[in-house]
Chains A and B, each alone.
Chain A
Amino acid sequence: MTTTTAERPVGRSTPGAAPRGTPRRRPGRLRRAGLPYLLLLPALVLELLVHLVPMVIGIVMSFKELTQFYIRDWGTAPWSGFDNYRMSVDFDAPVGEALLHSFLVTVAFTLLSVGLCWLVGTAAAICMQDTFRGRGPLRALFLVPYALPVYAAVITWVFMFQRDNGLVNHVLHDQLHLTDQPSFWLIGDNSFWALLTVSVWKGWPFAFLIVMAGLQNIPRELYEAAALDGAGMWQQIRRITLPSLRPVNQVLVLVLFLWTFNDFNTPYVLFGRAAPQAADLISVHIYQASFVTWNFGTGSAMSVLLLLFLLVVTGVYLAVTSRGRRSADA
């Protein structure tokens, strides 16, 4: 409000006070130069509120001893310096050891999941590249897992994975006789594969969608020329399709990596608040460290460490892939 009242007299004096040249023009130029920034202000404030402030608060929390005794008025929580971090990365002690274990599980899970999502998605997109009868409905069908609400989709998988009356064991054990006895999927070591299955099932349609869009931009003439030169289908895929998709893949793999690494919904709905060790993904682990044990300081410290790790990975990834592309372009 103060800004508007302050501006009004200046604005009114503009048309009347012609004789005084230089001092009059300066505020005018300032205003013209300032206007773009002024118009950017709402976006900036929103960005601050929605993005940066919560992040900064999270970082501040990680330096506090924020347990149940202080959450009601967490300004009063004592500062704990780097204690939360020290506890998180002390890999000889149980908390750090569990975090490291969870981190390694998450890395393995993410690599496998992203790899499989990309492979299945790309393969499907290439198969769907040529027009044929029923392509439209099939494409739509492929996108269903991506369009379903996460909770509904994953809870269905929970029922399918149940040992005694789930569909998975019914097929694997009762019908195909692949296992000696029905296996557990939601507890024990198999839970990792159950989680991976659901994650890939849920994630590949996105890869499919993006690669499909990328394929539209490859000129048909390239394939025709290659075919004239005698290139078979594999050579066309290797020499034309994949190199042309490179910029698309660069972004796709990064986005898939970040989403999968941070995925909370899938493991939480599958396993509840105490995930089996074999499938103890870091997002649920941090949730447990903060919400379930009511120690939000440690949880925040772990989150900040995760953020740093993801920043480093993203930075290195972009640097490496971009350099590769630049040298290829040159």
Chain B
Amino acid sequence: MRSIRAAAVGAVTLSLALAASACGGGSSTGGGSNDEPTTLTYWASNQGASIEIDKKVLQPELDKFQKQTGIKVELEVVPWSDLLNRILTATTSGQGPDVLNIGNTWSASLQATGALLPWDAQNFGKIGGKDRFVASALGSTGAPGKDPAAVPLYSMAYALYYNKQIFADAGIAQPPATWAELTADAKKIQAEGKQALGAEGANVSENIHHVFVFAQQHGARFFTDDGKADFTDDGVVAAVKQYVDLMAADKVIPTGNAEYAQNQSVSDFAKGTTAMLLWQSASANLTSQGMSEDAYGIAPVPVQSGTPGTGTQVNSMVAGINLAVFKNTDNLDGATRFVKFMTSDEEQKILNKAYSTIPPVAGAQNDPAFSAPATAVLKNTLATSAAALPQVADESQFETTVGTAVKELFADAAAGRPVTTASVRAKLEKAQQQMPAK
């Protein structure tokens, strides 16, 4: 009898415990607190050639921060393939890191969820003011007219990386400055038995970055001024077609690149099988793949004609990483201090050198390291001829739908199917119909 009663009591207790723990799983979705002032969790994005390299770069700095403030930072480097999903899951559950890196193109989308701490004047005051940051970088921190959802951490720009030896062998003296020159040079390179230009045809985000720049050069935008999707604009269609035609018509990009999505084009370039690569801040990546810095040159991305500038002369997106504070943090003060630390002039110099990126903090840019020929091109591009991707709440959907359309067009081109204005328009129309109705 006693054992039965014990079993009954146990059963009831277990049930109650289960129910209670399930109900207690979520946390409040209110603002942040300072309940845990001595620890922080930090999700870093994968900036180096591998996650291990990132840990090696960041850990000494986090130790420095701990020495200064007594706050221990738990670091997790999240691969790009997982980062957005992890952030969405954290947003839904309210259980996330205190501080996190986000791709700057996600700023407006994540801003719309309300999961990130808005950087109003007061919060900016805690990290030294908004004026410390470069204007172009601040342009990719959220929808215009709203308090930024994050602060810029690393800035990057696209550039044309070219293999000096292959160029010399093909008798090309100057890197191409226009697309026509690039196509002409490609013929000379192919005559030497090398591949001309590498691309990540199946990488949705890379596709977006390139067609965005082509659209700028055609004077077109993917969104109207009031934030509606406008993918079938003539300029947009021409832009997407011009990019895919690099494979389909000009045969500049090898057809095999249509299935590339794991940075194989960077490896091809590092191995010397491809002569050119359009990439953002690739130096550190190339070095880690064993390519000497003397072996390649860096030039601005080509334009239609003339020289890079604003308007239709844009030749890069404002690429970069922003640092955000999760609104549900239980160490709000610590998180803000950490952001201040990471965006301080000194740390900006250390981190941006390690990642071959450009500091978005004006005070750190004057370090001579960022005026070396390699980074000078990137810095100059950011300052004069880079444009921010549309800062709209639907940006993430735009990347997926249009990026997938370009991937399918590359697949068509690779399979030898014709890529025409009509087929490009049809794909873009389908992409537009998949966007959320307004």
Residues of A bordering B, CB below 8 Å: 1, 3-4, 7, 11, 35, 38-39, 41-42, 44-46, 49, 53, 67-69, 71-74, 93-95, 98, 162-164, 182, 184, 186-189, 272-274, 276-277, 288, 291-295
> Which residues of A lie under 8 Å from residue B397 when comparing CB positions?
292-294
Find A162's partner among B259, B412, B415 (CB 8 Å cutoff): B259
Is A294 touching B14 in the complex (CB atoms < 8 A)?
no
Extra A-B contacts (4), CB below 8 Å, given A7-B5, A71-B92, A184-B258? A39-B7, A41-B14, A94-B434, A184-B411
Residues of B bordering A, CB below 8 Å: 4-5, 7-9, 11-16, 18-19, 22, 29, 81, 85, 88, 91-92, 94, 109, 112-115, 201-202, 204, 256, 258-259, 261, 393, 396-397, 400-401, 403-404, 407-408, 410-412, 414-415, 430, 433-434, 436
Complex alpha-carbon distance, A136 and B46, angstroms: 46
> Which residues of A lie under 8 Å from residue B112 when comparing CB positions?
68-69
Known pairs A162-B259, A184-B411; A46 contacts B204 (CB<8 A): no
> Which residues of A lie under 8 Å from residue B436 when comparing CB positions?
67, 293, 295
Find B92's partner among A72, A93, A187, A293 (CB 8 Å cutoff): A72
Min Cβ gap A102→B in Å is: 13
Complex alpha-carbon distance, A1 and B15, angstroms: 11
Interface of A is mostly: helix
Is A277 touching B256 in the complex (CB atoms < 8 A)?
no
> Which residues of A lie under 8 Å from residue B201 when comparing CB positions?
187
Known pairs A49-B18, A68-B113, A72-B29; A188 contacts B400 (CB<8 A): no
Find B400's partner among A38, A74, A93, A274 (CB 8 Å cutoff): A274
Is B12 touching A41 in the complex (CB atoms < 8 A)?
yes
Is B258 touching A187 in the complex (CB atoms < 8 A)?
yes
Complex alpha-carbon distance, A203 and B12, angstroms: 42
Known pairs A11-B5, A95-B434, A184-B415; A163 contacts B14 (CB<8 A): no
Closest residue of A by beta carbon distance from B203: A272
> Which residues of B lie under 8 Å from residue A42 when comparing CB positions?
11, 14-15, 18
Is A294 touching B258 in the complex (CB atoms < 8 A)?
no
Find A274's partner among B13, B396, B403 (CB 8 Å cutoff): B403
A sample of 13 inter-chain contacts (CB < 8 A) reads: A1-B16, A41-B12, A69-B112, A71-B91, A72-B91, A72-B113, A95-B433, A98-B434, A164-B256, A188-B412, A188-B414, A292-B396, A293-B434
Complex alpha-carbon distance, A154 and B256, angstroms: 21
Closest residue of B by beta carbon distance from A69: B112
